[in-house]
Chain A
C-alpha cells in the first residue's frame, strides 16, 4: 500500500492555487514506489481537487466522485458548485464511516458556475468538511502550514501566492522523507472565470428555451 504526498492551497481574491508534492511511499518504508503519480484533478476548468493519503483509496474515491458528478451533469443538468463537489466527496467518504474509512484527505477549491467564489474546503477522511482561506494536509502538513501561517495575508497576488505555496511545499518535501524531493511540486490554479458556465450545445435543448 502506498501513502504520501503533501497538499497545500491558497484562496486569493480572484484565483485559487493548489499544489501537491509527489511521492507515494511503499507501506511505512521510505521507498518512492510511484514517481510522479497523479493526485490533482481539474473539473470543468474551474475546480481543483487534490488528494493525499492511501493512493489506492483516493484513486477509487476520485473515480466515484467524477462518475457521480457526470451523472448529475447529464441526468439532472447540474453543474456543481465547489460546495457540491466537496459535499459529494464528503458523502462518499462518510459512507465508509462504519466500515473501512479510506485514509485519505482532500482539498477542493475553485469557483462556482455563477463565477462566485473562490471557495476552498478541506475534506477529512471521515467526511469532515471545513471551509478555509488557506490550508495544508498530508504527510508534511505541519511544515507546510507553518510556512502558510506565517506568510499568508489577505489580497495576495497570484505571483506572491505562488511563491508562498512553492516554499511551503518545498520545505515540506525537504524535511519529510515520504515526499519526493527530486520532483518539483506540481502547482495548478484556476482564475475567476470570465463567463457563467453554459452547457455545451448538445444537451441544452431545454435550457435554450428557458
Chain B
C-alpha cells in the first residue's frame, strides 16, 4: 500500500495503530522531527566517551544548552525537539538518583538507557499521546569503562561506537564510517567529532536557510559543544581547544 494510502485511512494519526504494512507511521514522523534537530555526535574510545553537538547561535538569544550532566559519571545530549528532550533529561536524572538510593552505586549506562527507553516506549503504545520527538545519546564511564548508547524516539536502544543524529547526518555518518576504527586514539576521535560537526555546519551554510532567521550562519567554534567523559567524570572541552582543531582542519573559523 502506498504511503499516501496509509495516510488517507488515518494510520498516521496515532501510534496505537499499525499501518497494514506493519509500520507505526507516527513514529517515523517522530524520527523526522529528531533529524530536524542540530547534529549530535558521540564517539567511544578506549579511555573516554566524546559527546558533542551543535548549538544555534544568535545575537539576540543566549546560547542553548546541548549537553546535560546526568550524574557524576554520565552526560546526555539529544537531537530533536528541545522541550521533549529536556523532559527526558530530567527523567534520566531521576532514574540515575534512584539507583544511588537503592544500590548505593552509580548506575550503569546501559541500565539507564533501558529504563529511559521503557519510559519512551510507553508513548508509542497508548492513544492520546505523542512520542518524544528526540533521539538521546547517553555517554558515561561505568563499571565496564567508557560506554555510550543511543535511544531513538520509539525507545529502541543502540549501543554505539561512533554515531550521529541530526540535520545532515547522512554526510557525517559517511565520514564516521570512513574514519572510525575501534582502536582510534582519543585525540583522533576528538578531531573526528569536530570534523563531523564542522561538516554539518558547512552543509547547513550551503543551504543558506539560517540567513532567514535570527540565527548566525557559517562555521564557528562557538557553535560547537563537546564534553569528554572518563574515569574522572564529565569535563567540557575548552572552546580554545576546539578552535585550534577547527583551524588545523583548515576550516574558516572566525
Contacts and interface: CB of A to CB of B under 8 A. Distances in A.
Interface string A188-206: 0000000000001111111
Q: 8 nearest interchain CB pairs?
A: A202-B234, A203-B69, A201-B236, A205-B65, A67-B97, A202-B236, A67-B100, A209-B62
A210 B62 CA distance: 8
A64 B101 contact: yes
Interface string A172-184: 0000000000000
B242 to A, nearest CB: 13
A77 B50 CA distance: 23
Contacts of A75: 90, 93
Given A202-B69, A202-B227, A206-B65, A71 B235 contact: no
Q: How large is the interface on B (under 10, 10 to 19, 20 to 34, 35 or more residues)?
A: 20 to 34
Contacts of A203: 68-69, 234, 236
Contacts of B235: 200-202
Contacts, number: 49
Contact of A74 (B66, B67, B93): B93
Given A75-B90, A205-B67, 6 more contacts: A63-B101, A202-B227, A202-B235, A203-B234, A206-B65, A210-B62
Contact of A202 (B62, B66, B100, B233): B233
A209 B100 contact: no
Contact of B101 (A67, A201, A210): A67
Interface in A48-90: 63-64, 66-67, 70-71, 74-75
A63 B100 contact: yes
8 contacts: A67-B100, A70-B100, A74-B69, A201-B238, A203-B68, A203-B69, A205-B63, A205-B225
A70 B72 CA distance: 9
Contacts of B238: 201
Interface string B74-104: 0100000000000000100110010011001
Contacts of B62: 206, 209-210
Contacts of B233: 202
B90 A70 contact: no
B28 interface: no
B248 to A, nearest CB: 22
B56 to A, nearest CB: 13
A94 B68 CA distance: 32
A202 B228 CA distance: 9
